[in-house]
Amino acid sequence: MTVKEIFETMDYGPAPESAADAFAWIVDQGAAFGHFIDGAWTKPRKDFQSKNPANGETLADLTQASQEDIDAAVKAARKAQPKWEGLGGHGRAKYLYALARLLQKHSRLFAVLETLDNGKPIRESRDIDIPQVQRHFYYHAGMAQLMESELPNAQALGVCGQIIPWNFPLLMLAWKIAPALAMGNTVVLKPAEFTSLTALAFADICQQAGLPAGVVNIVTGDGAVGEMITRHEDIDKIAFTGSTEVGKRIRETTAGTGKSLTLELGGKSAYIVFDDADIDSAIEGLVDAIWFNQGQVCCAGSRLLVQEGIAERFHSKLKARMDTLRMGNPLDKCIDVGAVVDPIQLQSITDMVDGNTDGVLYQAPVDMPVEGCFYPPTLITGLAPSSKLMQEEIFGPVLVSTTFRTPAEAVALANNTRYGLAATLWTENVNLALDIAPKLVAGVVWVNATNLFDAAAGFGGRRESGYGREGGWEGLSAYTKPKGTAKALKPVEAFSGDKGPVDPLDRTAKLYIGGKQARPDGGYSQNIYGKNGALLGQSPIANRKDLRNAVEAAQAAKGWSSTTGHLRAQILYYIAENLSARKEEFATRVNLLTGGKTGAAEVETSIRRLFTYAAWADKYDGQAHGVPIRGVALAMKEPVGVIGALCADDAPLLGLISAMAPAIAMGNRTVLVASETYPLAATDFYQVLETSDVPAGVVNILTGSHAELAAPLAGHLDVDAIWSFSSTPLSQEIEAASAGNLKRTWVNNGCARDWLSAEGEGHSFLEASTEVKNIWVPYGE
């Protein structure tokens, strides 16, 4: 092609990237890899192969890890962890800085390896993935340096098992390894079976950096290896990125083990275009949202919602843009769409599209390569919100679309999914953008942009897209725990007795549901005795139907979440005021119930705790992250939703208030199961709530058996989080039951908490009561 022909046709000629150095590196390793354990390579075996999805050629032979390999890696990580943490923040920062520098020095090698192994276009590996990898190690070198001054009460979890996917092999490694190492943990990481090469190359630069043996261990293999890591008894944390189905199995597997868990799972993210949007910009953004990395992105804007008035024009211009996309050799710097990662994934995409009979299918008339795993850019319009392809993740270059009329309908359609990872909205009206963004149930929202990521801004989802955040200050909590050693929690036994009532005038205790006192559905109550055997009263025994009614009442009180922190603070102060007016009565009641003398201290601490969370209600602010764009990433702290809590048995009033107050201060609605052994303090508290302007449904209180109510509460699909401070050992049952909708859990794992001390309040309660949503707002013309 001559220069004249190029200017006349404006066609792109080939601009191939050389893979010679990458192949040379593979050959230098013998084209066969073992595991990287305790700072050294194990003997390689030819158990499975890494192949180039663009042409099917074998790149290297890899080794399937055995249980013995996993045990050796975990043992090495455990041995190395105390010394690694003992280096201090500055000592660890130096190593992280060295890794960042080496990633820069070998950036082109990593980019080419990633494209060879994964099939993504080289310009994406070179210009997006690898720079982000470097950024994460630089950023977390800074976090390590600041840990001792800014997180003085935090310490490392220990050994972290990390399982990463094949769509961003090296970037997902950086997202997990960098914060873990910064906070003093050691890791055992398993890359995806399809894409292990850049993780193994990272092990090579760990050696070059002189990283102490055992700090980073990398084992390869299929899902069975991930399961061995998940089940290993000597691992303190599991961090997983992958499918929702596997995430649910991991939640069930780790239930009751005490392992910390971060899950970053699937998505079906909405891409909303309003009628005042810059259409051309929105289309270019959409190209990046769905055809970036062949649509193999968990937060891909795969669900297009276009306002009716511009839908026909938008779809027409979108098809014209699709026609210009270039597909072919991923190492060609002029290619837009590369290869799907593996024939298995290609077949999955094909089957989902071929099995669809709804809407109108359009596939771009691109030149398809004759070999390799390629699928054309695809658009399916006119789908109903309930269509399978509008609800299920395709994980390929397939965009599905429907229309909306009003902003309210756009929000309803966007939130009509079991996922909650990301969303994008396009509008030239800043008021509309900032009205819609907080209403979207997603961990990340991009305004007039898409797929913006940075180490300073946390990334993670809601609902069945998982929980926890990676990146930013909020991401560090997933790799730390409070300093100190927890004491074992002893069961709190109820008193028995045979004496008559303390007060001959009966006091009928009920349940508190929807702002009203309600009789238990089952019609049963239990006698509550004091230490001296005297009958103090009867407490209702709630059942599944009572729990269902309480959750329905909490769901009906959604308006509480949109009230101001100032209003919530006033109500909390009012509760404290009304409790204070009856403090002698409550102190006496607590002493009678517990047989102790701490009643006055418990009531006084309860009042102080209400004041504390009233103070926090309008002060627990988000952040404006310093991301490297001309714009801002706003980390907004939002309520979780409906929180169910099994309250502490040993502190009948304080335990209930310590769970209720932070939750409602942050805008949540609650279903509280009161102390099983001493419930009458809670039933007396109803009257305080009734006289304190608490809206109906914001606080619901049940009494009865924690063991009977734990599983249905944890399994309820309209409950968003569950906490357990019960002395009954229920952590495993709760965490296993929570897998149904992947609700957040906070359980005690049999550890005691001193409710009268600072341990009974603070940031941990506020963090458990909030979700962080990062809203990216670029600015400028």
| pLDDT tens-digit readout, 541-578 | 999 999 999 999 999 999 999 999 999 999 999 999 99
Cβ(174)–Cβ(187) below 8 Å: no
Active site residues: 264, 298
* SS3 at position 56: coil
Q: What is the DSSP string of 92-134?
A: HHHHHHHHHHHHHHTHHHHHHHHHHHH---HHHIIIIIHHHHH
Q: What is the pLDDT of residue 674?
A: 97
Query: Greater confidence, 1 or 635?
Result: 635
Residue 313 has pLDDT above 70, yes or no: yes
Q: What is the pLDDT of residue 505?
A: 65
Mean pLDDT of the chain: 94
Name every residue whose Cβ is closer than 8 Å to that of residue 340 and which is 6 or more positions away in sequence: 53, 119, 294, 296, 346, 349, 373, 374, 375, 396, 397
Place 507 in a pLDDT band, splitting at 50, 70 and 90. confident
Place 497 in a pLDDT band, splitting at 50, 70 and 90. confident
The Cα 562–Cα 639 span in angstroms is: 9
Burial 263-272 (b: 16+ CB within 10 A, else e): bbbbbbbbbb
Q: What is the CA radius of gyration of the chain?
A: 28
Residue 13 has pLDDT above 90, yes or no: no
Torsional sign, CA 435, 437, 440, 441: negative
Q: What is the pLDDT of residue 190?
A: 98
What global pTM score does this model have?
A: 0.92
Residue 601 has pLDDT above 80, yes or no: yes
The Cα 182–Cα 92 span in angstroms is: 6
Mean pLDDT of the region 296-325: 95
Q: What is the pLDDT of residue 11?
A: 72
pLDDT tens by residue, 87-123 = 999 999 999 999 999 999 999 999 999 999 999 999 9
Q: What is the pLDDT of residue 1?
A: 64
Q: What is the pLDDT of residue 485?
A: 83
Residue 8 has pLDDT above 80, yes or no: no
Residue 781 has pLDDT above 70, yes or no: no
Q: What is the pLDDT of residue 445?
A: 97
